[in-house]
Chain A
């Protein structure tokens, strides 16, 4: 369907004030819960501080208020939470582009029922590791990380709000040059607007106090229309200027991402000797396998003695990482979880993304976006 654009904001005064840019997303969630269209909303809830976000299932419309506001320092992923625990439920999920990609890959593998899910996409410019965030706030902002009450990414800056209400901002470019800032896989990510979700919401190009919504599916269009009809949100058509601005932001971000892809996947890509060094660090904890949102087999080749010997540490990279790559890399959505959880800091995400890029260049298959299964699963004679 043709994309449709609109600006929306909540009609609930409390949400309007508390929510991010007009609180349209919160109001859509409330509508879905109030009318019992979904049994629950899966979203992030702030934990102890701004560096902590906990994936939570919210069943009470009142509790949606607690989820307002962004949490850039909690790099989580929702896809496998649904396929593992919530397949029976009618759900609404707040998805980053990578969450939507994970859901797309799992859906193609019949691991969840897309019909049961409303995907409310949130534009995403990247996430920051909590530890990195604390370090950089201490180093670049010269404030106690525990004094931060809110954080935001806007116009290329990472902005923090302190207890006393003051704001401090530092250019993300500057942070990333020094090795801080967004996670590396986020720097390389070129999908900022989740067009693979039902709707994509964000503040790019929006007027202050409004959410810019791009409608991607028929289901999304109906949802926004009904939410409006029931009086949860008000909408208006965005101006030409809004649209151009949004496109411009996206263009700049994609260009930057391509630059980082060249940097990390080509120029600074580890040499074979360096990889040997990395693989030699492996303690075979299987965390990378277990955390991968797309990997789903119940019986895993990596548990077989013929590929991975029980008493061999580090494992032979060819039949440990190699087999894992041969199963998952063409479907890698570059969520970076494998790299995040690796206790030995092996930069796994680069090899996976590089493989998926190679595969994409040869076959045209883009993990998380293409609607059909990867060609490797195809029964076709081609």
Chain B
């Protein structure tokens, strides 16, 4: 199959730092992952996830700070509530909720970033491209 397209929203303070750590340590992660930096996972709303799928993503990943470590105090709590809601919503449009993943990754966890991305990428590759009739 063709290379899966994965959009990865990463929060500036932790997950993006984690990606950076992975990069400077030369840890390889799949090239199909397109990282978009946002200031906080609490900035992400369901619209953005839906838009990513609409534009042709086969999987969407969101990374935030560990619970309790949010740079803005409670952004990741808000995100977690939204993430759960997105999990209820996606199946209504025929999108397997496995195509959407969120994880807490700190700036020092380059390895966790690499591992999470590789696993998610492999899973998406396994279930194949997202087919939508529209």
List the interface of chain A (C-beta within 8 A of B): 272-273, 275-276, 279-280, 301, 306-307, 314, 316-319, 322-323, 325-326, 329-330, 351, 354-355, 358-359, 362, 375-376, 378-382
Contact call A280/B81, Cβ cutoff below 8 A: no
Pick the contact of A319: B54, B77, B85, B88 (CB < 8 A). Answer: B54
Contact call B47/A319, Cβ cutoff below 8 A: yes
Residues of A within 8 A of B78 (CB): 378-379
Contact call B81/A318, Cβ cutoff below 8 A: no
Pick from B4-12, B30-38, B89-97 the stretch touching chain A: B89-97
Residues of A within 8 A of B82 (CB): 376
Contact call B88/A355, Cβ cutoff below 8 A: yes
A301 to chain B, nearest CB (A): 6
Bound-state CA distance A280–B78 (Å) is 33
Residues of A within 8 A of B74 (CB): 379-381
Contact call B50/A322, Cβ cutoff below 8 A: yes
Contact call B77/A326, Cβ cutoff below 8 A: no
Number of A-B contacts (CB under 8 A): 73
Query: Residue B53 at the A interface, CB < 8 A?
Result: yes
Contact call A318/B54, Cβ cutoff below 8 A: yes
Bound-state CA distance A59–B4 (Å) is 65
Interface SS of chain B: helix, strand, loop or mixed?
A: helix
Given the known inter-chain contacts A276-B134, A319-B54, A322-B50, please indicate yes or no for A380 contacting B92, CB distance below 8 A. Answer: no
Given known contacts A326-B47, A380-B74, what 19 new A-B pairs fall within 8 Å (CB)?
A: A275-B94, A280-B134, A306-B51, A314-B134, A318-B93, A318-B132, A319-B54, A322-B46, A323-B46, A325-B92, A326-B85, A326-B89, A355-B89, A359-B85, A359-B88, A376-B81, A376-B82, A378-B81, A379-B78
Given the known inter-chain contacts A362-B84, A381-B74, please indicate yes or no for A326 contacting B46, CB distance below 8 A. Answer: yes
B48 to chain A, nearest CB (A): 10
Pick the contact of B134: A317, A351, A355, A376 (CB < 8 A). Answer: A317
